[in-house]
Structure formats: C-alpha cells, structure tokens
Structure 1
C-alpha cells in the first residue's frame, strides 16, 4: 500500500512507532529519497509518497474522504491510545467501547481496535 502524504519519512516514523519495523531498509526495489519512504514490518511493507498538494481527509466527512483506513489491533486500548498521542496522532472519536478513531500526522484516519 502506498500512502500519499506531505512528509514521507515523518509518517513512516509515526507508523514505525505504532507497529514496529524498520524505516527505509536499503536494498529494496524502490528508490528511497525525500519523496518516498518505506516501513518494513513482518506483515508487509507500507510505502509513503510525497504529495505536494496533499489535502488531508476530514473524518467522517464524505466530501473529503479517508483515502485509506487501517485498523490496528491492540491488547490495551488505553495504553495504545496514549502511545498514538505521544507519537503525534490526534484523537477523532472515542465514543465506542472497543475502538477509537485517530488521525495520523498527515490527517489520515485509522482505528485502534481492542482485541
């Protein structure tokens, strides 16, 4: 999956903080530069691509759609939420018992889901 964003390396580091893994592992089939960054995780690779005119989604406004949506399973919803906020995420909705909706630093919504 490739995610458009204004700062690829910063967003890759944000998701590394949440998911673990390695940012910008050398020797892969794509070029790593200021406009492209990767997060390598046992579950696969997330790629981040600079979009100079990136417009952040506004959840849940369908006029500015999500563009993509990750659900990240956590064992402790409160601890996971605290980590998201520490890393620079923004809480969008905590009205549900089993999940919380956040935005990453580029504005993309994602959920922490209690497993």
Structure 2
C-alpha cells in the first residue's frame, strides 16, 4: 500500500507565470495562478507547478558541479516539428549535434533541462 500520491512536480524559477506559459504552450492545458505559484493541468490531467525562487540559479547540462537535479521527458510524434515549436517558444538546445538518437535535450526559458523523445 502506498503512503502518498504524487500531486505535482514543482519547478523553482524566477518567473512562474512566464515558465508556466512556456509549458502550457508545449503541453497544452490550463493555468491557475495564486501569487508566486502557478499550477498547470495538462489535458490528460497531469500536473506541473511553478514557484518563484528569488535566488534561483539555473542548472547546467551536463555539469557535475551544477547538477541538473531532474529533467522532464516529453514524448513527441516528430522530433523536428517539436524542436521547431519549443525553439520558437524560447527553449535553447543543449546538445543539438547528435541527430541520430531518439531524443534531444533542451533548456526551458528558466534553464531547466528537458528532453523531446520520439514515441
């Protein structure tokens, strides 16, 4: 028997509304804001939350002295189309050189690493 249920994954960031807007454009869904906290509920009912962190220092990938701490894997039908979409929204490629893999690594506008993964 489980002790708890996962409520949401929470991302610290300097601007919760902006970062939640980025992920709402990428994943779809609805946003609810309460001060320095924003909830994103995706169309399939999953939750991401974003909270203000005034001293936020973005992780670096790959960097053992500034660990990424976690990352999101986002599945997509077409890597090239998805890449164009996230770049247009402000994502930055972190390893654009290797096109032979079934995933590509990016940073969101606040610097959190995430992967687009082919289904």
Superposition TM-score, scaled by structure 1 size: 0.89
> RMSD between aligned alpha carbons?
1.1
Mapped partners of 2:61, 2:45: distance in 1:
26
Query: How many angstroms does 1:97 deviate by?
Result: 2.2
Cα deviation, 1:14-60, whole Å, max 9, x if unaligned, reads: 00111000111xxxxxx711x11111112411100000000000100
1:36 to 2:37 alignment: yes
After superposition, where does 1:64-79 map in structure 2 within 5 Å?
A: 64-79=66-81
Which residue of 26, 41, 54 maps to 1:18? 26
Name the SS of the counterpart of 2:85 in structure 1.
helix
Distance 1:7 1:88 in 2: 14
TM score, norm. by length of structure 2: 0.86
Structure 1 residues not aligned, in runs of 5+:
25-30
Any unmatched runs of 5+ in structure 2? 1-8
Residues 67 and 108 of structure 1 are in contact (CA less than 8 Å); yes or no, is this contact kept in structure 2? no
User: What corresponds to 2:5 in structure 1?
Assistant: none
Cα distance in 2 for residues equivalent to 1:114 and 1:44: 20
Answering whether residue 51 of structure 2 is matched by residue 49 of structure 1, we say: yes
1:90 counterpart = 2:71: no
